[in-house]
A and B are shown apart, each in its own frame.
Chain A
Amino acid sequence: MNSNSNDDPSELERELSAFTLVKPTPGYATRAEELLVAQQETRRKFWLPYAGLATAALVLVAAVIGLPKLWEERTAIDNQLVDNSSFSIPEVTAQLQRSYESGVHYQELEPPIPLEEMTEDEIRYYFSYHCNPCYQFEEILEEWYEPELDEFSFIRIPAIWSDEMRHYAQVFFLAEEFGVLDRAHGLIFESLHESGERLDDLPSLIRFFSRLGISQPRVIAMFNSEEMMERVRETEQSNRDYSVQSTPMLVVNRRYMVQPNQEVGQTQMLRIAEYLVENQ
């Protein structure tokens, strides 16, 4: 048995009480009504002299059964699309666009995934929680990326080339799955680079996510789930597709790779990515 067996027993109950039994179909009550009415009909035919009485009983039965409803049907929710028509191009892109050269500022790649699968421009960001430049890069990213502009999709993807990185990729996916990535992402970086409160095992993850309002059963269930393993496998494949060997690294529209080097600083990486989205 494990050390968590003494935890509050009500936590699992609280988590499970969120689930409800599937509601019966509308035909459940209707069918029962039909069955009972059919029985009444049989009796009525048998007892013709008492036809009036039988009819009254039928009406009564129908009235009794017809009144209650099982549960209210859910109201369909209409999703209204937000009009994201505004599209802005940073001025700096136009100013610098002549200076970006393939082979110097970015690398052209053979796209491993057919481009026709893409429905919008995308920038993939391969990062590692262990990477100090990635930690610094986060601050620049936070000011730079404005999702509401809807210019492109920006996708964070954990880099994986060791068991430790695989573990922290799972931490990333946990936070994403639980809808707390916005709050957790910076905290995970801080745990490795500032506080020293590492998240190397499941108990530390349970403590970490409990502070974000995620219960122990959900963390345990998700961490080693087949869905999680599948996401990790897909991410490892994606890492292989783009030969990710260092971070931070940007892949624009699955065709161009941007990494920091002597010519390209972190801020410039983002300008190059913007330029590639707009011009290539």
Chain B
Amino acid sequence: MSKNRLLEELAAIFAQKQRQLYVAALAITRERSSAEDSVHDALLAIAALQQRPQNLEAYLYRTVRNKALHRLKHTNRFDRNINPGDFLDVQECSSSQKILANQVIERLSTLEENSRQTLIMKLFADLTFAEIANIMESSPNTAASWYHRSIEKLKEEMYEQQF
């Protein structure tokens, strides 16, 4: 397969899945610009390949997630405080909803990595378990299991804190 064909395919996948790619990255970085950069990094990395990966879409998701993790690891510790406005769209929320959003964002850090990403993609981006499984290279059942575990953990965290 020619290099140009690879780029065409890449462009076509991006056109179809740009939202999912962005969500996958944002679920890791929890910061908009880093998420966008992670997707761009991944596109560039794949465009430079000499051989087409067997499953280009899966490879793209994996590369996006790796790039996002890489960016997260290399973020200055002092810059890791998540600005809610760079993660969740809370502009039209009431103050109490914003407070709840802040509390949830704080507690997301207590969740295990896969569970956290699944919860973010399911709850805040409304992706299906099948879509999440595709991104996470897992099965829908496993994704559902991660999700339910994360919800229960989040509930415990929030209620124990408050009562």
Are A and B bound to each other?
A: yes
Residues of A whose CB lies within 8 Å of any CB of B are 1-2, 4-5, 9, 12-13, 15-25, 27-29, 31-33, 35-36, 39-40, 43, 53-54, 57, 60-61, 64-65, 67-68, 70, 177-179, 202, 217-218, 220-225, 227
**Which single residue of chain B is at the shortest CB-CB distance from A20?**
B89
Cα–Cα, bound, A103→B48 (Å): 86
Select A9's contact among B48, B99, B120, B152, beta carbons within 8 Å.
Answer: B152
Given contacts A18-B93, A22-B32, contact A32 B39 (CB under 8 A): yes
Q: Return B47 CB to nearest CB of chain A, in Å.
A: 4
- A5:B95 contact, CB within 8 angstroms: no
**Which applies to chain B's interface (DSSP): helix, strand, loop or mixed?**
helix
Q: Can you list 22 A-B pairs with a CB-CB distance of less than 8 A?
A: A9-B151, A15-B100, A20-B125, A21-B89, A22-B85, A22-B86, A35-B43, A36-B7, A36-B43, A39-B47, A40-B7, A43-B3, A43-B4, A43-B7, A53-B4, A57-B4, A60-B8, A65-B11, A221-B96, A221-B158, A222-B99, A224-B162
List of 9 A-B pairs having minimum Cβ-Cβ separation, nearest first: A221-B100, A222-B96, A2-B163, A39-B47, A61-B11, A28-B36, A220-B162, A21-B124, A225-B99
Task: Tell me the chain B residues, 106-163 only, with Cβ under 8 Å from chain A.
Answer: 120, 123-126, 151-152, 154-156, 158-160, 162-163
Q: Which residues of B contact A57 (CB under 8 A)?
A: 4, 7-8
Q: Which residues of A contact B8 (CB under 8 A)?
A: 57, 60-61, 64
**Which single residue of chain A is at the shortest CB-CB distance from B92?**
A74
**Which single residue of chain A is at the shortest CB-CB distance from B37?**
A31
**Interface residue tally for chain B (C-beta within 8 Å):** 56
B19-27, B50-58, B71-79: which lies at the A interface? B19-27
Does B15 sit within 8 A of A, measured CB to CB? Answer: yes
Q: Which residues of B contact A68 (CB under 8 A)?
A: 15-16, 18
- B124:A221 contact, CB within 8 angstroms: no
Q: Which residues of A contact B93 (CB under 8 A)?
A: 18-19
- B32:A25 contact, CB within 8 angstroms: yes
Q: Return B72 CB to nearest CB of chain A, in Å.
A: 16
Q: Which residues of A contact B99 (CB under 8 A)?
A: 221-222, 225, 227
Cα–Cα, bound, A239→B103 (Å): 30
Select B15's contact among A39, A64, A178, beta carbons within 8 Å.
Answer: A64
Cα–Cα, bound, A1→B96 (Å): 24
